[in-house]
Amino acid sequence: MVGQTRPGSGLQAEGLNAGRKERIVESAMLVGLILALVGLVDGFVMALKRHVTPCPNGTFFPKGTTNFNCYVHPNAGPGIAIAVFSGLLGILVVLSGISASASLRNTSTARGVQANRNRI
């Protein structure tokens, strides 16, 4: 019959499908952002971890010092690099997720407008 459509077709189904895809993109963006934040924290922990080392001869200690230990940060360089890389990766994940969501939103809107034009 004229006017009948099969279930799951038409503008409503396309809108639901676009919404589902958008939720998938947003979920993937959230997972990527969480992993980037974990890398950022891990990098800072690596950079700030210190070890006691023997002090070199001639080390100056101010008057009233009670702790005569010397410290080194052996993983400061790689830790800072991991933190910076994770921060940049987090920015990339957010921008990519926003772009993909906007693209899905615009595609479903453009299809709806085109379908409405075809009806007229």
- pLDDT tens across 62-74, in order? 888 888 888 899 9
- What's the pLDDT at 119? 59
The answer as to whether 72 is a domain residue is: no
- Domain range enclosing 31: 26-48+77-119
CA–CA separation, 97 and 39 (whole Å): 19
- Backbone angles phi and psi of 51, in degrees to 5: -130, 145
The answer as to whether 11 is a domain residue is: no
The answer as to whether 106 is a domain residue is: yes
Question: Do 5 and 102 meet the contact criterion of CB atoms below 8 Å apart?
Answer: no
Residue-wise pLDDT for 53-62, tens only, equals: 888 887 888 8
- 110 Cα distance to chain centroid: 28
Q: Where are the beta strands (DSSP E) in 54-118?
A: 70-72
The answer as to whether 62 is a domain residue is: no
Grade residue 91 by pLDDT with cuts at 50, 70 and 90: very high
53: enclosing H helix or E strand: strand 51-53
- What's the pLDDT at 19? 76
CA–CA separation, 81 and 101 (whole Å): 30
The answer as to whether 6 is a domain residue is: no
- What's the pLDDT at 7? 54
The answer as to whether 94 is a domain residue is: yes
Beta bridge partners of 76: none
Give the total number of structural domains in the chain: 1
The answer as to whether 112 is a domain residue is: yes
The answer as to whether 61 is a domain residue is: no
Work out the burial of residue 101: count CB atoms within 10 Å of its CB; fewer than 13 is exposed, 13-18 middle, 19 or more buried: middle
